[in-house]
Amino acid sequence: MHVLATTIPQPARLGVSFASAAEAHLDDVHAYLAYLTGDRALAEDLTASTFEKALRLWRRFDPRRASAKTWLCQIARTTALDHFRSEERRRRREGTYALREGGEAAHSSFPEGLSPALEEAVRSLSAAEREVIALRVLLELDGPAAARLLGISESACSTRLSRALRHLEERMSNAITA
């Protein structure tokens, strides 16, 4: 029994503390959420919620199963999806679903630093497309980790990324020619 207890992986025992993981991956989680939501302010709130949740769940984290970055992004995704669902319910309740408050989000502050054409192109992508770009391009997660996080196969993840980049390029070139 004692031997078994000592073999159970514990993050602290393996030299990973929550503070160091949070420090190392705060920007990653924030970038991911910023792309997923398309709203910087919302991304900040969700990032804070993500780390609160992560702190509560920290003892369940097993570094042998996934890296801290992947684990935190998984929690961030769940947090964002919960937010989207609750927003959807709120809109439905208020009877303004048809109007889609998307306009508000569309003009909210998207991550700075992108050229206007690229920012517009990124904004026009679906959340799923922005998400895969964030994971594979910005966070540089490898294919299997990203696919596992998204709950899809590796090839589907690759296809989604390729399609997202193609859309991005098309929309940019459309914007330039316009």
Partner 1 sequence: MPSPPEPLLEERYDRLLEELRAARPYASSELRERVRALTVEPEPARRPTRVTRRPRALVPAFLVALLVGAAGVGVLVRDGGRESQDATFAERQPSQGLLDKSAQGSATAVPRGATPQGAQEAQARAALPPSRTRLQDYRAELRLRVPDLRRLSSATARAMRATRSLGGYVVSADLGAPTGGDGDSILVVRVPVGRVQEALVRFTALGTIVSQRIQIDDRQRTVERQSETIADLEGTVATLERALRDPSLTRFARGRLQLRLADARRSLAERRNARGATVQGARTARIALTLTTRAAGEAPVTEPEQAGYLERTLRDAVSVLGRLVAWLLYGLIVAAPFLVLGAAALVLERRRRRRSVERLLERA
Residue 173 makes CB contacts below 8 A (sequence gap 6+) with none
Residue that has been written with the tokens 């922005």 in this structure = 130
Q: Looking at 66, 106, 165, 175, which residue binds partner 1 (CB under 8 A)?
A: 165
Nearer to partner 1, 19 or 178 (CB): 19
- Shortest CB 66 distance to partner 1, Å: 15
CB 61 within 8 A of CB 11: yes
Q: Looking at 14, 24, 27, 86, which residue binds partner 1 (CB under 8 A)?
A: 27
Find the binding residues for partner 1 in span 75-104 (CB under 8 A): 81, 84-85, 88
The one-letter code for the residue type at 50 is: T
- Shortest CB 15 distance to partner 1, Å: 14
Find the binding residues for partner 1 in span 6-25 (CB under 8 A): 7-8, 10, 12, 17-19, 22-23
CA angle 22, 156, 76 (to 5 degrees): 20
- Note whether 174 binds partner 1 by CB under 8 A: no
Find the binding residues for partner 1 in span 47-66 (CB under 8 A): 47-48, 51-52, 55-56, 58-59
Q: Looking at 66, 108, 123, 127, which residue binds partner 1 (CB under 8 A)?
A: 127
Residue 41 makes CB contacts below 8 A (sequence gap 6+) with 108, 109
Which one, of 24, 25, 22, 99, lies nearest residue 58 by Cα? 22
